Amino acid sequence: MLLTGADIFAEVLVEQGVDTLFGYPGGAVLNLYDSLYHYRDKIHHVMTAHEQGAAHAADGYARATGKTGVVLATSGPGATNLVTGIATAYMDSIPMVAITGNVGTSLIGRDSFQEVYITGITMPITKHNFVVRKVDELADILRDAFRIAQTGRKGPVLVDIPKDVTSAKAEFVPKKPQIPEMHTYIEQKDLEQAAEMINAAERPVIYFGGGVSASQAGEELLELARKAEIPAAYTIMAAGVLGYGDPLNMGLLGMHGNRTTNWAVNEADLVLAIGTRFSDRVALNPDQFAKRAKILQIDIDPSEINKNVEVDHSLVGDVKQVLQQLLPLVKPAKHPDWMALVQSWQAQDYHPKNSSTRITPHQLIGKICELAGPDAVYVTDVGQHQMWAAQYIRHIRPRSFLTSGGLGTMGFGYGAAIGAKLAVGDRPVIHLTGDGSFHMNLNEACTAVSYDLPIITVIFNNTVLGMVRQWQTAFYEKRYSSTDPHRKTNYVKLAEGFGAKGYHCESVAEFAQAFEQALKSKGPVWIECVIDKDEKVLPMIPAGGTIEDMIMD
């Protein structure tokens, strides 16, 4: 059938199984929006307050579901406003398709109104990007974009469509979506070598990251850990993959990880790095990381092998498939001396002190977990509250701790929470934020109100940029340069101004009451919690340091 580019765009979205789309209209995408009007029964378009919010929403939707998130923006500023959202998805390997309109092909390169070279701008932060020059290419390019986003190591893809391409017509032939299948083939001798390393280890540790989550390999990981009795530590990207009650789950690793995980990696004779990339927030000092251990790395991306830390052996492939092939070769083992050592470290782990007179971060998070229940999805912004959330949330389902790990994007949370809420339906979505992060994109409250999304935002308000201030305290002799903005924001009134509900709490008891009300709400709720500005995220290993440098108070 002969269709316009705009209708082809809508047809391909439907064909690819897209039922929710985040975006913001504008001149260059008028034709696309006209098609979305006709396809409104099949594709739910969610309009945000700002394109950045739409990009984070598509990202949050993808993180919560594993499906590809889709975002649409107009040319020029619409396109550039996506950039932070695309980079956030890129750093955390989140499948996303970003579609931008552009000025007509005859106007390209002439500095036309709302023209930018968005494919040039996004080249380093996308897996790939396309400019559609002819309407005949549009359908296949969009299909390629979906395929690339989900193939191998996942990530964002951008498709730039000039306006005249959306009005031109082409023959459209429907096709079934190509589901990218991953076939991991690993030489038997490489599998055997890996298994021998595991079987020979006396002090093994698993260090795993977001790749385990992306590959949905939690079960295989647990099986490996149990079969060979290997205690495991995770990066922030893999929170929730292993259950918290499991004695083999040691907890968070790295800069704000606990003492036990960091000691265990330091003392191990074998580190199995699974779906992770030795970032500078975990391998803080790459030359000293796991210095007594042989390292076996399993990852889908060959370029991650030996990138930051030299490894002794590697298996490249989909984590789930690699583990399935490896497991039969791994011998059941027990490491009682090693486990006893791990337990002795656990006895010395950092434990924050409770207070009965003020709200402490760990007590607040404990209360949230208790009231929100095991099904909650947690979405964070970036800063101290994010680290506290990673440290103290004690029951997370897979795909239920959504956080900007790699890029560390303040302002990620509200948009991502909107995307997550649209993805998970009745499960509670709790957006944890700080007063710094929240001010960046709180405008998305209007979106949550428009679409009746009962997202509960808990604002850890310490009135300062706590994480930066913590570094100023520790490393800059308390010269608090530009971290105390003396803002006078009244969150209750501001929430009400948006048409949401706001609470102000100064005690955990007040918070519990507000939160219980919020869980019953049909729309968005903000709960501001007053936190002492000197609260720190502990323990902490300074950048570039080792476990020997760990700060405990």
Residue 255: CB minimum distance to another protein, A = 24
* Choice among 467, 472, 511, 550 that is catalytic: 467
Q: Which of 1, 42, 113, 343 is catalytic?
A: 113
Please identify, using beta-carbon distances, which residue of 120 and 485 lies nearer to another protein.
Answer: 120
* Binding of another protein by 187 (CB under 8 A): no
Residue 247 found at the interface with another protein (CB under 8 A): no
Please give the angle made by the CA atoms of 463, 467 and 468, to the nearest 5 degrees: 90
Quick one: which of 44, 169, 294, 307 contacts another protein (CB under 8 A)?
307
Task: Give yes or no: 181 in active site.
Answer: no
Smallest separation, CB 134 to another protein (Å): 13
Q: Catalytic annotation on 250?
A: no
Residues 131-170 that bind another protein (CB under 8 A): 131, 148
Residues 397-416 that bind another protein (CB under 8 A): none
Three-class SS of residue 244? coil
Nearer to another protein, 273 or 464 (CB): 273
State yes or no: is 363 an active-site residue. no
Concerning whether 472 is annotated as a catalytic residue, the answer is: no
Instruction: Give the C-alpha separation, 270 to 200, whole Å.
Output: 9
* Structure token pair of residue 389: 């959330």
**Choices 240-248, 252-260, 281-289, 300-308; region in contact with another protein by CB under 8 A:** 300-308
Return d(Cα 517, Cα 169) in angstroms, integer.
53
Q: Do residues 408 and 380 lie in contact, with contact meaning Cβ atoms separated by under 8 Å?
A: no
User: Using CA atoms, how far apart are residues 445 and 496, in angstroms rounded to an integer?
Assistant: 10
Cβ-in-10-Å burial (0-12, 13-18, 19+) of 164 comes to middle
Side-chain-side CA neighbours of 107 within 13 Å: the count stands at: 18
Between CA 514 and CA 256 the distance in angstroms is 30
Q: How many residues does the chain have?
A: 553
The count of other CB atoms within 10 Å of the CB of residue 332 is 9
Q: Which stretch binds another protein (CB under 8 A): 117-125, 379-387, 447-455, 468-476?
A: 117-125
Displacement of CA 381 from its chain's centroid (Å): 10
15, 47, 114, 196: the active-site residue = 114
What is the rounded distance in angstroms from the CA atom of residue 281 to the CA atom of residue 548?
16
Confirm or reject binding of residue 109 to another protein (CB under 8 A): no
Minimum gap (Å) between residue 302 Cβ and another protein: 5
* Cβ distance to another protein smaller for residue 155 or 411: 155
Q: Least distance to another protein from the beta carbon of 195, Å?
A: 25
The catalytic position among 67, 127, 154, 163 is 163
- Segment contacting another protein by CB under 8 A, of 26-34, 74-82, 277-285, 305-313: 305-313
**Within 13 Å, how many C-alpha atoms sit on residue 160's CB side?**
26
- Residue 133: CB minimum distance to another protein, A: 9
Residue 551 is classified by DSSP as: B
Using alpha carbons, list the distances in angstroms from residue 34 to 7, 78, 135, 169, 270. 9, 18, 17, 15, 58
Determine, following the binding rule CB under 8 A, whether residue 178 of this chain makes contact with another protein. Answer: no
Binding test (CB under 8 A) with another protein, winner from 37, 106, 109, 120: 120
Among positions 35, 52, 119, 325, the unique one binding another protein when judged by CB under 8 A: 119
- 484 binds another protein, rule: CB under 8 A: no
Q: Which segment (25-33, 56-64, 103-111, 299-307) binds another protein by CB under 8 A?
A: 299-307
User: Degrees (nearest 5) of the Cα angle 194, 198, 204?
Assistant: 135
User: Using CA atoms, how far apart are residues 333 and 340, in angstroms rounded to an integer?
Assistant: 15
| Rounded Cα distance, 456 and 124, in Å | 34
C-beta closer to another protein: residue 120 or 373: 120
State the chain's maximal CA–CA distance in angstroms.
72
Q: Number of C-alpha atoms within 13 angstroms, CB side, residue 373?
A: 7
Among 302, 374, 497, 544, indicate the residue that binds another protein (CB under 8 A).
Answer: 302
Name the residue nearer to another protein (CB basis): 119 or 321.
Answer: 119
Applying CB under 8 A, what is the total number of residues that bind another protein?
Answer: 15
Asked if 550 is an active-site residue, the reply is: no
In angstroms, give the least distance from the CB of 287 to another protein.
Answer: 13
Strand ranges inside 359-467, DSSP E: 377-380, 401-402, 429-434, 455-461
Active-site residues, by number, are 51, 113-114, 163, 467
Binding residues (CB under 8 A) for another protein: these are 119-120, 123-124, 127-128, 131, 148, 301-303, 305-307, 310
